[in-house]
Amino acid sequence: MSANSAFNDEKGGSSSVGEPEYGHDPASGGIFSSDYKRHDDLKEMLDSNKDSLKLEAMKRIVAMIARGKNTSDLFPAVVKNVACKNIEVKKLVYVYLVRYAEEQQDLALLSISTFQRGLKDPNQLIRASALRVLSSIRVTIIVPIMMLAIKEAASDMSPYVRKTAAHAIPKLYSLDPEQKDQLIEVIEKLLADKTTLVAGSVVMAFEEVCPERIDLIHKNYRKLCNLLIDVEEWGQVVIINMLTRYARTQFLNPNMNESLLEEGSDKTFYGSDEDEDEEEEEEKDKKAEAPAMAKRKPYVMDPDHRLLLRNTKPLLQSRNAAVVMAVAQLYFHLAPKAEVGVIAKALVRLLRSHSEVQYVVLQNVATMSIKRRGMFEPYLKSFYIRSTDPTQIKVLKLEVLTNLANETNISTILREFQTYIKSMDKDFVAATIQAIGRCATNIGEVRDTCLNGLVQLLSNRDELVVAESVVVIKKLLQMQPEKHSDIIKHMAKLTDNIQVPMARASILWLIGEYCEHVPKIAPDVLRKMAKSFTNEEDIVKLQIINLAAKLYLTNSKQTKLLTQYVLNLAKYDQNYDIRDRARFIRQLIVPTEKSGALSKYAKKLFLALKPAPVLESPFKDRDHFQLGSLSHLLNAKAGGYQELPDWPEAAPDPSVRNVEVKDSVFTLLERVTTLTSVPEWTKCSSREKRKEKKVEKPFYSDSEGESGPTESADSGNFRGLCREQSSEEEERKHERKSKQRKSESESESDEEEESESESSQSESEDSESEAEVKKKKKAAESKPPSKPVKKDNKKEKKEMSLLDLDDFEPAPSPQATPVNTFLSNSLATDLEGLSLSDAVLSPATISPSSALKSYEMLHRITGEGLSVEYCFSRQPFSPDANMVAVQMQFTNNATSDTKNLHMEDVKLQSGMRVKEFPEIELLPAGEMVTAVMGIDFCDSTQAANFQLCTHTRKFFVSIQPPVGELMRPVFLTENEFKKEQGQLMGMNEITEKITLDAKCRNEHSIVQRVTTAANLSRVPCGSDKECRFAGRTVTSSSLVLVTVATKEEGAAKLTINCEKMVIGTMLVKDILLALTQ
């Protein structure tokens, strides 16, 4: 700006009417012409070919925009400079463009091509900035161009460009909501991204575009949890808030049992002591209820739920208040009661921050302290009020103090309150008096003390204080009026002095209500009031009428005339409410011929026993809003607020979050190395020399950017162990012994990081290959122990993961010193062979190949020489017992080699899963290779579609299982069979009369045909007229029982008993076909 004014000084003459930019008054006449003139010279400057002049002009224009001046008439002159070489001019043009493009849509289009060129730039930062500006131009007609640009950027090499793409999504969405479906596809793709840079931005886009598509999160859930600590702080807030909602839909309420207890049985055991501290009570209950509890299903926290809680906890230490608040609300909404306490300390810490932060935090603390008082009790003193706090903070602190008050601390709190009452801030004093009132109602023991204190305040000099006290005393007296006629008398005296209408009204109401307790004073008060009636405020007048009516009913002898007088005055009052009231009351209490039946009940109407008011916190029940949200703060639903869902009754299938097994083992290993390596620097300084070479990529979290998908249960537990017990673990003997080893693997893990991180192109080849070797090796080694993934037994899993640690720990040692690439390379090939043979040979050797029917997946013509056949090998698929093994045979009929055969882009029905076959690196011409993949069809005959990719082509293929392949044989004895069959009657039984094919009327051929059609095993049977078969479906393990009873002349009866009726019906058809043809 200084430069700006300097410029104007030079041009002194042109700005004769002063400088309108500085002028506060745009209405004076000369402005328009000068404005016009000045814009003219700006145009000139923009048209010149000197960058410095252009820059000067742009700076002045931006300064005008900043002050809210309209500069849209310069648009054509500015937009021309969009391709200017000078970076700053360009940036300022962008600023201008984004501001005015919406208004000048046609002209804005002129700039688009520049950005489109920018999108193709080899420099990632230029690509990103082009996309950023392009997407910020709010011109509806470029929507298709934007869409295209976003799609391309979403698969850009650079994570930074992908991040920008994620940012562009909400922009496009707000421009054209009809693009939603396409945008969701992009979001889905970006959600799978494994870099921390993208994670925050894409979740933000998800929240804006499709927060309801919670299903998109399943596969990425664990990844997001693991990446969280490395995401930039703003992204963390968004992710945590989203995961809170996610967890509420997917997991069970960790406090389920406790809440049941509270509702149910505690009344019978400890009926009366409600005021007692919640947690204590629970503990007692737990002991008492132990036998009862045993019956109920014990709650086991989903390991994924635990993972979320564990990975967010360190973020309580963030310097960013928004992150701390986000974690706090997550814990409040999701954690078991016993663990919520950890957030209190962090929230109290935020109270040291700026007053706006305090304001928001205190609002949330106020809500939390109602539900979980115990949590903040230790920090009671942090909420003490200082005279320098702004009033709104004081009031909120008071609220928290009131919520925290209980029998033990009430005396200290009341002492504090006493000092507050002497404050100069009268609004605050009023709030304090109300707080005292609330303490008095909540805690019976101090009610009298409080009341006395408040009565003393009645002689305070400040009228506001007195008035507020009167209002609060009125509420307190209502609880036990008979004891306190003195106070009522005292208050009656006050009517002479107090002028605050609310207080006067309260006193009058009290006297009217309890006129029987003060029979002598009441009529006198009415007399005085009748005198001053015309000068009173409306609420006071209404109460005078009330008082008169009540006195008339109880003591009509003394007050009849007074009442008439008051009612007459009211009849001619200016306020129609008062006139109406007077009319109504007269009719009601003064009996005339006309008055109806109601007047008989007048006394009952007026002097009914009224329930005492409940003094409640305004923060009660605010927690149905997600804490930390704007809606919670305002206590009203803000636009775009996503309701926090209730916990589900039964947990949805946790397996939806499962991802690939192999990778997880790898990441698991990575973590082992990470874990052991971290505390190294201080311990062995001798290693320093070696390390100096490669400290470049330290990692800040245990699961670094690339940790990728993780396997479900055991990895979760494993992590837990790492964090919680890392110190103990270190103490374990074998670890100590292997200290040396650890230090070595540490430097190596650095390398591993490097090769993994996408952003850094791996410079050292050997480290890369080494990492690969390890990957494979580990994959090979770890397969067997990681197989039995069972959800129900937690302990076993823990032990297992510990074992894994032991198993894996020494694994890196052979390559700990990266001596030469030769060794590792050869090792790699060896291992590769191993892992391949493991997967390929086994089915080939064991399976009864003769019975297998093979299907064509890819014909050699469509496959351009590559043909693929598959068959169901009927072997248990070892990596996952719930999958059907599909054996594929690739034949290369072409003349050239086919490379990198692998599958991609698997499209499945929900619930289905696929374990891909390992990539076939080379299939020489004329050769044949087999591979095995696993598919979990979820007991349905839906096809699994995917792309089969070679190094040159992609083929769309699909695998559809015959129903008979969806089961595996089980062995049953005859008795067992009969028993099971007995339970599967009715709807589950399907019977069909058939005529057997002429060739298959003997037992042997029947057995053969049935077992070919379906993967079942024969059940021994006493009678030779019957053949029985049994199996279970692969995914759900439902029994499938088949009986073929032969009769004369080839007639037979086919009976199928199956829990899954669909399977049953389909199987009937298949077997029928097999037996009749």
Partner 1 sequence: MLYICYCIVQKYRGERRDETVKNKLSSPPAKMIHSLFLINASGDIFLEKHWKSVVSRSVCDYFFEAQERATEPENVPPVIPTPHHYLISVLRHRIYFVAVIQSEVPPLFVIEFLHRVVDTFQDYFGVCTEAAIKDNVVVVYELLEEMLDNGFPLATESNILKELIKPPTILRTMVNTITGSTNVGEQLPTGQLSVVPWRRTGVKYTNNEAYFDVVEEIDAIIDKSGSTITAEIQGVIDACVKLTGMPDLTLSFMNPRLLDDVSFHPCVRFKRWEAERILSFIPPDGNFRLLSYHVSSQNLVAIPVYIKHNITFREGSSQGRFDLTLGPKQTMGKAVEAVLVSSQLPRGVLNANLNPSQGTYTFDPVTKMLSWDVGKINPQKLPSLKGTMSLQAGASKPDENPTINIQLKIQQMAISGLKVNRLDMYGEKYKPFKGIKYMTKAGKFQVRT
- Contacting partner 1 within 17-56 (CB under 8 A): 24, 50-53, 55-56
**Window 372 to 391, contacts with partner 1 (CB under 8 A):** 381-382, 384, 386-388, 390-391
What contacts 166, CB < 8 A, 6 or more positions away? Answer: 154, 187, 190, 198, 201, 202, 204, 205
Given the complex with partner 1, which of 401 and 1006 has the nearer CB atom?
A: 401
Angle at 300 between CA 294 and CA 304, to 5 degrees: 175
Binding mask 350-369 for partner 1 (x = CB under 8 A): --x-xxxx-xxx--------
DSSP conformation letters of 553-575: HH-HHHHHHHHHHHHHHHHT-S-
Q: Is 743 in the site for partner 1 (CB under 8 A)?
A: no
Q: Is 679 in the site for partner 1 (CB under 8 A)?
A: yes
Q: Is 449 in the site for partner 1 (CB under 8 A)?
A: no
Given the complex with partner 1, which of 411 and 837 has the nearer CB atom?
A: 411
Report residue 648 as tokens. Answer: 């589900």
Q: Is 494 in the site for partner 1 (CB under 8 A)?
A: no
For 9, counting Cβ atoms within 10 Å of its Cβ (0-12 exposed, 13-18 middle, 19+ buried), the class is exposed
Q: Is 10 in the site for partner 1 (CB under 8 A)?
A: no
CB of 325 to partner 1, least distance (A): 5
CA 148 to chain centre: 30
Which residue intervals of 121-232 are DSSP H helices?
A: 124-136, 143-154, 159-175, 180-191, 196-209, 221-227
Given the complex with partner 1, which of 295 and 422 has the nearer CB atom?
A: 422
Nearest CA to 430 out of 376, 472, 373, 459 is that of 472
Report residue 559 as tokens. Answer: 């007050």
Q: Is 639 in the site for partner 1 (CB under 8 A)?
A: yes
Other residues' Cβ atoms within 10 Å of the Cβ of residue 178: 10
Q: Is 629 in the site for partner 1 (CB under 8 A)?
A: yes
Locus of tokens 């899993």: 797
Identified binder of partner 1 from the candidate list 8, 15, 124, 595, rule CB under 8 A: 124
Identified binder of partner 1 from the candidate list 17, 65, 288, 836, rule CB under 8 A: 65
DSSP conformation letters of 987-1054: GGEEEEEEE--TT--SHHHHHHHHHHHS--EEE--S-TTEEEEEEEETTT--EEEEEEEE-GGGEEEE
Could you tell me which residues are beta bridge partners of residue 969?
1031
Amino acid at 582: A
Task: Give the 3-state secondary structure of residue 1033.
Answer: strand
What contacts 1018, CB < 8 A, 6 or more positions away? Answer: 1007, 1011, 1027, 1028, 1029
Identified binder of partner 1 from the candidate list 339, 696, 765, 976, rule CB under 8 A: 696
Task: Give the 3-state secondary structure of residue 207.
Answer: helix
**Window 228 to 287, contacts with partner 1 (CB under 8 A):** 229, 232-234, 237, 241
Q: Is 691 in the site for partner 1 (CB under 8 A)?
A: yes
Given the complex with partner 1, which of 304 and 416 has the nearer CB atom?
A: 416
Q: Is 726 in the site for partner 1 (CB under 8 A)?
A: yes
Q: With CB under 8 A, what is the number of residues at the site for partner 1?
A: 141
Q: Is 732 in the site for partner 1 (CB under 8 A)?
A: no
Angle at 929 between CA 926 and CA 931, to 5 degrees: 155
Q: Is 6 in the site for partner 1 (CB under 8 A)?
A: yes
Contact segment (CB under 8 A) with partner 1 among 104-112, 219-227, 653-661, 772-780 equals 104-112
Alpha carbons 342 and 345: distance in angstroms, whole number:
6
Given the complex with partner 1, which of 593 and 692 has the nearer CB atom?
A: 692
Alpha carbons 386 and 859: distance in angstroms, whole number:
83
Alpha carbons 722 and 745: distance in angstroms, whole number:
17
Phi, psi of 948, deg, nearest 5? -100, 120
Alpha carbons 704 and 686: distance in angstroms, whole number:
26
Alpha carbons 155 and 465: distance in angstroms, whole number:
67
Given the complex with partner 1, which of 381 and 1025 has the nearer CB atom?
A: 381
Given the complex with partner 1, which of 158 and 981 has the nearer CB atom?
A: 158
Identified binder of partner 1 from the candidate list 201, 664, 988, 1043, rule CB under 8 A: 201
Q: Is 870 in the site for partner 1 (CB under 8 A)?
A: no
Q: Is 419 in the site for partner 1 (CB under 8 A)?
A: yes
Alpha carbons 312 and 331: distance in angstroms, whole number:
9
Q: Is 695 in the site for partner 1 (CB under 8 A)?
A: yes
Q: Is 855 in the site for partner 1 (CB under 8 A)?
A: no
**Window 84 to 103, contacts with partner 1 (CB under 8 A):** 86-88, 91-92, 94-95, 99, 102
Identified binder of partner 1 from the candidate list 43, 189, 603, 697, rule CB under 8 A: 697
Given the complex with partner 1, which of 244 and 887 has the nearer CB atom?
A: 244
Q: Is 764 in the site for partner 1 (CB under 8 A)?
A: no
Q: Is 57 in the site for partner 1 (CB under 8 A)?
A: no
Identified binder of partner 1 from the candidate list 15, 392, 599, 1012, rule CB under 8 A: 392
Identified binder of partner 1 from the candidate list 48, 113, 973, 995, rule CB under 8 A: 113
CB of 112 to partner 1, least distance (A): 6
Q: Decide: 1030 and 1039 in contact? Cβ < 8 Å.
A: yes
Alpha carbons 96 and 103: distance in angstroms, whole number:
12
Identified binder of partner 1 from the candidate list 28, 182, 534, 760, rule CB under 8 A: 760
Given the complex with partner 1, which of 697 and 1018 has the nearer CB atom?
A: 697
Q: Is 171 in the site for partner 1 (CB under 8 A)?
A: yes
Nearest CA to 723 out of 1024, 144, 314 is that of 314
Nearest CA to 674 out of 702, 653, 644 is that of 702
Q: Is 145 in the site for partner 1 (CB under 8 A)?
A: yes
Given the complex with partner 1, which of 207 and 830 has the nearer CB atom?
A: 207
Given the complex with partner 1, which of 351 and 602 has the nearer CB atom?
A: 351
Given the complex with partner 1, which of 691 and 1001 has the nearer CB atom?
A: 691
What contacts 835, CB < 8 A, 6 or more positions away? Answer: 776, 779, 780, 783, 918
Other residues' Cβ atoms within 10 Å of the Cβ of residue 27: 7
Q: Is 67 in the site for partner 1 (CB under 8 A)?
A: yes
**Window 175 to 194, contacts with partner 1 (CB under 8 A):** 175-178
Phi, psi of 1018, deg, nearest 5? -80, 145
Q: Is 148 in the site for partner 1 (CB under 8 A)?
A: no
Task: Give the 3-state secondary structure of residue 89.
Answer: helix
Identified binder of partner 1 from the candidate list 42, 112, 198, 888, rule CB under 8 A: 112
Alpha carbons 926 and 866: distance in angstroms, whole number:
10
Q: Is 319 in the site for partner 1 (CB under 8 A)?
A: yes
Contact segment (CB under 8 A) with partner 1 among 250-258, 559-567, 629-637, 665-673 equals 629-637
Given the complex with partner 1, which of 109 and 612 has the nearer CB atom?
A: 109
Contact segment (CB under 8 A) with partner 1 among 480-488, 628-636, 927-935, 1035-1043 equals 628-636
DSSP 22: T
Contact segment (CB under 8 A) with partner 1 among 155-163, 299-307, 467-475, 768-776 equals 155-163
Alpha carbons 533 and 523: distance in angstroms, whole number:
15
Q: Is 922 in the site for partner 1 (CB under 8 A)?
A: no
CA 298 to chain centre: 25
Identified binder of partner 1 from the candidate list 12, 13, 29, 68, rule CB under 8 A: 68
CB of 110 to partner 1, least distance (A): 6
CA 237 to chain centre: 10
**Window 207 to 236, contacts with partner 1 (CB under 8 A):** 207-208, 229, 232-234
CB of 794 to partner 1, least distance (A): 24
What contacts 325, CB < 8 A, 6 or more positions away? Answer: 347, 350, 360, 361, 364, 627, 628
